[in-house]
Amino acid sequence: MSINLWTLGLQAINVAVLMWLLSRVFWTPVAAAITARQATVTALLTDAKAAQAKADAALAEVTQTRAGIAAERTAALAEAAAQAEVVTKAAAASARTQAEALVTAAAATAAAKAETDRAAAEKAAATLAVAMARKLLAGLDTEVVQTAFLARLVAGIGAMTPQDRAALAATKGGITLASPGDLSPEARKAITQTVHDALGAKPVLHFVTDPALIAGGELRTPHFTLHNSWRADLDDIERALTDAA
């Protein structure tokens, strides 16, 4: 095999020309495009890193905000629970106080009612006892009883002060003498004389009947009454029993 030097030289020249052409026509634009592309990629990477940094910062801010919200929520829940506990305790204390007040009021009302019922029962018993006494004494209106009451009437007049006796004797229009039944003329005369002697004066006596007296008699004027009857005695007894109750 023989090598043609001219052919080899021409091939070398062709390669050299091709390399020159490639370097001038192809590699320079390609290199420029690659450089531009690298710059674009670098810029994109830089922007991406900046965006990532912003995203990281935003995420950190959101995380911090959420942590703050969670802390505030926890604090708010704790405060609400504390307030609810205070309100519950206050409501329980108020309810307990009201219940105690109701119990106390109910006890006081029951005690007052019991006392009222007891007083009413004792008053009713006293009234019944006096009513029974009235019925029993009503049948004893005898001359002896009337004589005893006349003596009591004289004693009552004697117990008055001289000024009161004088005022009673000087009553304008006379004195009313009430008795439980009609008196005979003789009894009226005797009673008139007895009253005159006790008063030391002779006022006019007007005789009236009052069956409610049961026994005895009363001297009456518009401004004064000298009680001297079983009715007055029984009324005194009933008042005493009622007051004692």
Q: Does residue 158 share a domain with residue 238?
A: yes
Look at residue 102 and tell me whether its pLDDT is greater than 70. yes
Tell me the two tokens of residue 239.
């008042």
100 domain residue, yes or no: yes
Contact call for residues 234 and 130 (beta carbons, < 8 A): yes
Q: Which tokens sit at 78?
A: 């704790």
| Same domain? 146 vs 107 | no
Q: For 57-75, write each residue's pLDDT tens digit.
A: 877 887 887 777 878 778 8
- The verdict on 97 and 162 lying in the same domain is no
Cα–Cα distance measured from residue 132 to residue 199, given in angstroms and rounded to the nearest whole number = 36
Q: Answer whether residue 211 is part of any domain.
A: yes
What pLDDT does 118 receive? 66
Same domain, yes or no, for 2 and 110?
Answer: yes
Q: Does residue 122 lie within any of the structural domains? A: no
CA distances from 237 to 121, 146, 166, 232, 241 (A): 16, 20, 31, 9, 6
Query: Model confidence at 128, in pLDDT bands (50, 70, 90)?
Result: low
Closest among 155, 131, 160 to 235, alpha carbons compared:
131
Q: Which domain holds residue 204?
A: 139-244
112 and 1 together in one domain = yes
**Of residues 28 and 96, more confidently modeled:** 96
The answer to whether the beta carbons of residues 212 and 219 sit under 8 Å apart is: no
- Among positive and negative, which fits the CA dihedral 238, 240, 243, 245? negative
Query: What does the pLDDT read at residue 21?
Result: 66
* 22 or 46, greater pLDDT: 46
Query: Do 111 and 149 have their domain in common?
Result: no
CA torsion 184→181→176→187, rounded to 10°?
Answer: 20
- The answer on 167 and 99 residing in a single domain is no
Residue at 124 is within a domain: no
Q: For the whole model, what pTM was predicted? A: 0.42
Is residue 130 in a domain?
A: no
The predicted pLDDT at position 116 comes to: 72
Based on the fold, state whether residues 46 and 106 are members of the same structural domain.
Answer: yes
Q: Determine the residue type at 147.
A: T
Query: Does residue 225 share a domain with residue 160?
Result: yes
What CATH number is given to the structural domain containing 200?
3.30.2320
Instruction: Note whether residue 121 is domain-resident.
Output: no
Same domain, 171 and 106: no
pLDDT of residue 205 exceeding 80: yes
Do residue 62 and residue 103 come from a single domain?
A: yes
Q: Is residue 19 part of a domain?
A: yes
Closest CA to 136 of 214, 228, 23, 77: 214
Q: Which H or E element spans position 224?
A: strand 224-226
Q: Are both 68 and 164 inside the same structural domain?
A: no
Last residue of a domain, one of 85, 116, 147: 116
Q: Which helix (H) or strand (E) holds 221?
A: strand 218-221
Rounded to an integer, what distance in angstroms lies between the CA atom of residue 176 and that of residue 184? 16
The per-residue pLDDT of the chain, averaged, comes to: 76
Number of domains in the chain: 2
CA 22 – CA 31 distance, rounded (Å):
12
